[in-house]
Amino acid sequence: MTLLENIWIVPVLPLVSWVLITFFNRRLGERAATLGTATVLGSFVLSVAAFVALVRHGAPVSSGGLWLSFGSVELSMGFTVDSLAAIMLLVVTVVSSAVHIYSMGYMHGDRRYQRFYGTLGLFTSAMLLLVLADNFLLLLIAWEIMGLCSYLLIGHWFEEAWPRMASMKAFMTTRVGDVAMMIGIWLLFSQTGTFNIVETTQAVAGGQISLAVTTVGALLLFGGAIGKSAQFPLHVWLPDAMAGPTPVSALIHAATMVAAGVYLVARSYGIFLGAPDALLTVATIGGFTALFAATIATVQTDMKKILAYSTISQLGYMMLGLGVGGFVAGTFHLVTHAFFKALLFLTAGSVSHAAGTLEVHKLGGLAKKMKVTFWTFMVGGLALAGIPPLAGFWSKDEILLETFVTGHPVLFWMAILTAFLTAYYMTRLACLVFFGPPRDKHVYEHAHESPRSMTGPLVALGVLAVVAGLPASPLMGKWLVKFLDFGQTLPGLMTGGGAGAGATGAEGAVAAVGHTLAATGAPGGGIVLPIALGAAFLGILIGYAVYGTRQIRRESLIRAFRPVYLLLKNKYYIDEIYLAVFVRPAVRLAELCGLFDNKVIDGAVNGVGSATVAVSAAAGEFDNTVVDGAVNGVASGTMATGQRLRRAHTGLVQSYMVAIYAGAGVSLAVLLWFLFAR
């Protein structure tokens, strides 16, 4: 209980590490890693304790207080530990700990070792804060600080051009989504007067907000999620984010930060439930992104980029799950994916550590040289492909089932096709990296297994990639499903919706989706499992036929589908389109503004100066317009004097004093005339 009420300590621990590392950078040296790891492990232990405490307690616990008051408007700020938050705390601290330990080996000798660990600590803190936030404002703060850390870590090796560009691209692209999200937050705030998520949800469920506003608000929030979770059309930054160190890719760009968008949708699920069209949009964007990114992943040749597109695709899967009403399915996949995708990225790091390259056509046959890396990769890969009984199987199956039983046939078949492609590209990757003959002798001879600090985390995450799905499987009585159950997460919504006086569309939708939540084991779902497994095995089979046994020749495939191949190879030319439509015109517009400011406005200013000199020379009349001209004229006259009296500053100011009093006197005269002459 006391821990749940003082949960702030969990995010504060890694924050302390960041502060200490920032201030004692040089003195700490490589001890920064120990400090960072210790704090994150501390957070992990506390997260476990909090999880246990929550299971015992059985209801969400909130803490916090007044943050800011605007007279009538009072804003509170606080934390909520509910089942979703408790599980996310575990996921974040586990992956972060693994990455902290792994980086001791991987980043050893790096020129900015301390900065790396410091930023990692700040990131972990922000992500934990995000998970615990009970209001949109705190969530936004944590959200953007994560973005900052992501930016700093992508640009860790900023001497090279690619990380430099990629870091800015990442921040700017996600910023587009963030701005949409902020507008959504303002919109909801203008309706409810609160940033609190549960209160906003209750306002939606209670019918205080119109359906149209709820829909727009939900869609704007989803805009932020699209940016952060790299969904189409804002997915472009994530593949480039691979320019950062691989442990960063594993933690931030695979397991945790990119899942924050999914988490946002889950956290504000009550709002989405009140807006069925918005929910359907989430499902559609998610389903489309899943398939879209999977197609690109099939032709990429950089191990990390393949995994990056796979991440985009799997995040789409989670969105799909949430969008069709599968709250548990979507969040559950978030959890399992965090483990096996972090694992896959860390194996990629291990490969690059050993071989010095991630270009798949230069690798090959590494299975013999890197046993631990190889086996953990296989576990992660099979989990991703959805092979039972590994973690990914259970969560993926849950999403497919939800999509099927809620009556979304098109999305269902897109998801099945994605499952097939996922199995295919993972098989391709496995074959190119670990099987077959070495393609580059030099690389192969150089390769060696990574140190223990790196293989240890691989094994730990490997175990989780196997067992993390079990709590939600029938083997354990679907315990996790019940624990995560939406009704328990937000009790206020269900009771508020049921007891609400005026029945609205929003309320109806809540009831409808609530119904499908209960109907997860509905009849007709029985054929989903065989179809999904069939797709996965077919993908593996074809992948193995092309890249393993080579019964199907890759070259002939490329020749047969040349236009498609080129389209995929160039990632649908979306980067090029954005460059031409947004980036270049924006830069051009900025240049035009600069030119306009310099030539036209400043030109006019200087022009007015010299013009008034001429006008004031001719001025003899005493009406209003000329008064104005005279004031300017005196000023411009002094400019001319100024040119002559370059060194005599005092003389100048005297003339200004004259100008001041002349101006004042003239204006006084005009005013008196204006007042008394009528």
The window from 176-184, 301-309, 400-408, 467-475 that contacts other proteins (CB under 8 A) reads: 176-184
Is 74 a residue that touches other proteins (CB under 8 A)? no
Helix (H, G, I), strand (E, B), or coil: what is residue 308? helix
DSSP state of 253: I
Backbone phi and psi for residue 78, each to the nearest 5 degrees, phi listed first: -170, -175
Is 618 a residue that touches other proteins (CB under 8 A)? no
Check the CA dihedral 271-197-81-20 and report its sign.
Answer: positive
The window from 1-9, 138-146, 242-250, 261-269 that contacts other proteins (CB under 8 A) reads: 138-146
Nearer to other proteins, 495 or 654 (CB): 654
Is 601 a residue that touches other proteins (CB under 8 A)? yes
Is 162 a residue that touches other proteins (CB under 8 A)? no
Distances (CA, A) of 399 to 293, 302, 405, 422, 521: 18, 29, 10, 15, 12
> Rounded to whole angstroms, how far apart are CA atoms 598 and 609?
16
Say which amino acid occupies 466. V
Give 500's contacts (C-beta < 8 A, 6+ positions apart): 205, 206, 207, 507
Q: How far is the CB of 602 from other proteins (least distance, A)?
A: 4
Say which amino acid occupies 467. V
- For residues 301-320, which are near other proteins according to CB under 8 A? none
**Which residue in 2, 56, 65, 70 binds other proteins (CB under 8 A)?**
70
Is 176 a residue that touches other proteins (CB under 8 A)? yes
Retrieve residue 362's tokens.
């230069």
Is 609 a residue that touches other proteins (CB under 8 A)? yes
Is 19 a residue that touches other proteins (CB under 8 A)? no
- With contacts defined by CB under 8 A, how many residues of the chain interact with other proteins? 69
Is 155 a residue that touches other proteins (CB under 8 A)? yes
Is 639 a residue that touches other proteins (CB under 8 A)? yes
- Cβ burial 293-321 (10 Å sphere, 16+ → b, else e): bbbbbbbbebbbbbbbbbbbbbbbbbbbb
The window from 198-206, 282-290, 404-412, 634-642 that contacts other proteins (CB under 8 A) reads: 634-642
Q: What is the DSSP string of 512-550?
A: HHHHHHHGGG-TTGGGHHHHHHHHHHHHHHHHIIIIIS-
> Rounded to whole angstroms, how far apart are CA atoms 627 and 672?
14
Retrieve residue 450's tokens.
């990574």
Nearer to other proteins, 191 or 488 (CB): 191
Nearer to other proteins, 545 or 645 (CB): 645
**Which residue in 8, 30, 175, 491 binds other proteins (CB under 8 A)?**
175
Is 591 a residue that touches other proteins (CB under 8 A)? yes
- For residues 242-271, which are near other proteins according to CB under 8 A? none
Asked if residue 79 lies in contact with residue 133, where contact means CB atoms within 8 angstroms, the answer is yes
DSSP state of 658: H
Asked if residue 81 lies in contact with residue 61, where contact means CB atoms within 8 angstroms, the answer is yes
Nearer to other proteins, 108 or 175 (CB): 175
**Which residue in 12, 38, 168, 522 binds other proteins (CB under 8 A)?**
168
Task: Identify the CA nearest to 159 among candidates 198, 111, 197, 113.
Answer: 111
**Residue located via tokens 């963030």:** 178
Q: How far is the CB of 129 from other proteins (least distance, A)?
A: 10
- For residues 217-246, which are near other proteins according to CB under 8 A? none
Is 597 a residue that touches other proteins (CB under 8 A)? yes
Distances (CA, A) of 223 to 129, 278, 294, 562, 586: 21, 11, 22, 35, 21
Backbone phi and psi for residue 550, each to the nearest 5 degrees, phi listed first: 60, 35
> Rounded to whole angstroms, how far apart are CA atoms 44 and 1?
17
Helix (H) or strand (E) holding 335: helix 327-355
Q: How far is the CB of 308 from other proteins (least distance, A)?
A: 21
Is 580 a residue that touches other proteins (CB under 8 A)? no
Helix (H, G, I), strand (E, B), or coil: what is residue 135? strand
Q: How far is the CB of 269 from other proteins (least distance, A)?
A: 23
Is 122 a residue that touches other proteins (CB under 8 A)? no
Retrieve residue 227's tokens.
């940016």
**Which residue in 9, 52, 648, 653 binds other proteins (CB under 8 A)?**
653
Is 593 a residue that touches other proteins (CB under 8 A)? yes
Task: Identify the CA nearest to 129 among candidates 79, 181, 54, 185.
Answer: 79
Nearer to other proteins, 69 or 301 (CB): 69
Q: How far is the CB of 626 from other proteins (least distance, A)?
A: 15
The window from 39-47, 282-290, 517-525, 656-664 that contacts other proteins (CB under 8 A) reads: 656-664
Is 167 a residue that touches other proteins (CB under 8 A)? yes
Nearer to other proteins, 217 or 323 (CB): 217
Asked if residue 107 lies in contact with residue 248, where contact means CB atoms within 8 angstroms, the answer is no
The window from 57-65, 356-364, 394-402, 635-643 that contacts other proteins (CB under 8 A) reads: 635-643
Is 615 a residue that touches other proteins (CB under 8 A)? no
Q: How far is the CB of 356 from other proteins (least distance, A)?
A: 22
> Rounded to whole angstroms, how far apart are CA atoms 581 and 664?
53
Helix (H, G, I), strand (E, B), or coil: what is residue 68? strand
Contacting positions for other proteins (CB under 8 A): 67-73, 137, 140-141, 143-145, 148, 151, 155, 158-159, 164-165, 167-168, 171-172, 175-176, 179, 182-183, 185-187, 189-190, 586-587, 589-591, 593-595, 597, 601-602, 604-605, 609, 631-632, 635-636, 638-639, 642, 646, 649, 652-653, 656, 659-660, 663-664, 667-668, 670-671, 675
